Amino acid sequence: MAVIIDENSKVLIQGITGKVGKSFATRMVEYDTPIVGGVTPGKGGEKVSQLPVFNTVQEAVKETHADCSLICVRPDFVKQAALEAMDSGIKVIVIYSEGVPMHDSMIIASYASLKNVKLLGPNSAGIVSPGKCNLSDLHDSILTPGNIGIVSRSGTLTYEVVELLKQQGLGTSSIVCLGGDSIIGLQHSDVLKAFNKDLDTKAVIYVGEIGGNDEESSTEIIKYMDKPVYSLVAGIYAPQGKRMGHAGAIIENQSETAIEKQKKLKESGARTLQLLENLSSIEV
């Protein structure tokens, strides 16, 4: 099993004829992600990596029964692309594009909630269930199927966790990157609930960072989880008021510091990691 996506998913790429879209499509075909086509207005009838290109998401869904979309279009086109996908019946959306206007993100996230769509991003590195389906920029060649779930806002930190797990001979069930913007769709708590229900996930690595209150809301879920949660919050030395990397990674009050967040996660029952090297202590 896996969370959110698996071998039964049917994937579209919105922006498939662009440089980024073509790169994703080529890798998905090579590593057997169940991709069924792509969408670029005005390019309908063309092919990318032998995949059909459609003018609209509605047309693509009608022909392919797609239920997932990876959006990699220009930031100013993201809102239109996301709303079109949701109105066409797509139920899982990854917005890979960064630089999406905040007001557009607010509209997208609100509409996703109304339509019961699982939204990752904007500015998400994506989601992958190794060996089954990959809507992320984590290359399949470095991934190993296993029984550890990862949920993170940071793509870069996720890459490091994956590599260190691999060095320990451990693999992952699913990896979920929420996105680094201030306003995003799914939160850590949503993914924790999904991992707790997944029979193939035996432990979860929770990668947090400074800014926002997502970690605080996650503690209420961790308290009742049946599986061990290992937490790492990045940004211990980040100064208050200075944005660190992501648009959402800025400390506005004491509760948003890495130390305070890690403290709350530990109190909820999470096993805290001070450094990534501590992953060698994970037991599954």
Interatomic CA distance for residues 185 and 179, integer angstroms: 8
Nearest to 82 by CA among 106, 52, 46: 106
How many other CB atoms are found less than 10 A from the CB of residue 141? 8
Q: Kindly state the greatest CA–CA separation across the chain.
A: 56
- Going through 76-161 in order, the beta strands assigned E by DSSP cover 92-95, 118-120, 126-129, 133-136, 145-152
Which of 103, 139, 188, 246 is labelled catalytic?
Answer: 246
Nearest to 180 by CA among 108, 246, 256, 102: 246
Nearest to 147 by CA among 199, 208, 223: 199
Interatomic CA distance for residues 150 and 194, integer angstroms: 11
The answer to whether residues 284 and 203 touch, using CB atoms and an 8 Å cutoff, is yes
Q: Which residue has the tokens 């403290």?
A: 263
Nearest to 75 by CA among 102, 103, 100: 100
Residue 40 corresponds to which tokens in the numbers above? 């670029």
C-alpha dist (Å) from residue 87 to 43, 54, 83, 187: 21, 16, 6, 22
Establish whether 103 is a catalytic residue.
no
Catalytic residue numbers read 246
